[in-house]
Amino acid sequence: MLEILYRDKYYIAINKPSGLLVHRSPIDRHETRFAIQMLRDQIGQYVYPLHRLDKPTSGVLFFALDKESANLASEQFKNHSIEKTYLAVVRGYTDNEGVIDYPLKEKLDKIADKDSRIDKEAQEAVTFYKTLAKAELDFAVGRYDKVRYSLVELKPKTGRKHQIRRHMKHISHHLLGDTKYGRGEHNKLIRAEFDCHRMLLHASELKLFHPYLKKQIRIKAGLDEIFSRVCKDFSL
């Protein structure tokens, strides 16, 4: 059963588990479980996805319950007036706060995006971050006797593909557990020593204007057991 965070007659939000696809994808042909279908089966009603989360990312996932409500809310996602907040554990000690303003080239998948242009210019991409906690652990990785990690809060102001993951890589604070943009030696460490087999990125909050209630709503999603345990083990 999916955890339902919010529901009214127009919209519904769930806490998507890490490892669950939002919808069927040609890139993951072997997958048989999808958030859209699971939620439809759970509530016995058609749902309209308004945004996506990467498969390894957990957290708030928002749907409309009818086409008109989907159209009304989708404009906010298109013009980036939705406020999204994420939590992540990254390698190294991050600055207390910062802004990553670094344009990103569009990431294309060979299968899903085979008809898309490959010569597009890099698009504007901005992410704000704030450090919540730091930890130093007695594990040797590479040429270092100890490892340092940070728990960060991130607020992307644009919605580029894999934006947070690519932005944190750009400033050399790779996400732990990220097998695409992360560092293999740190991913191996958290798997072996902390039994963590997921990427440590979580969509913790979504804030948007409800077009029917005429007010802002805030939807929060708690961390799962693995993410919480890693933070506790790291003393973050």
CA distance 91 to 23: 30
Q: Are 23 and 49 in contact (CB under 8 A)?
A: yes
Beta bridge partners of 133: 151
Neighbouring C-beta atoms of residue 224, cutoff 10 Å: 16
Task: Specify whether 113 is catalytic.
Answer: no
Question: H helices of 47-162, where?
Answer: 67-78
3-state secondary structure (DSSP) of residue 81: coil
Q: Are 55 and 43 in contact (CB under 8 A)?
A: no
CA distance 111 to 64: 28
Nearest in space to 155 (alpha carbons), one of 100, 215, 111: 100
Q: Find the catalytic residue in 54, 101, 113, 224.
A: 54
Active site residues per annotation: 54
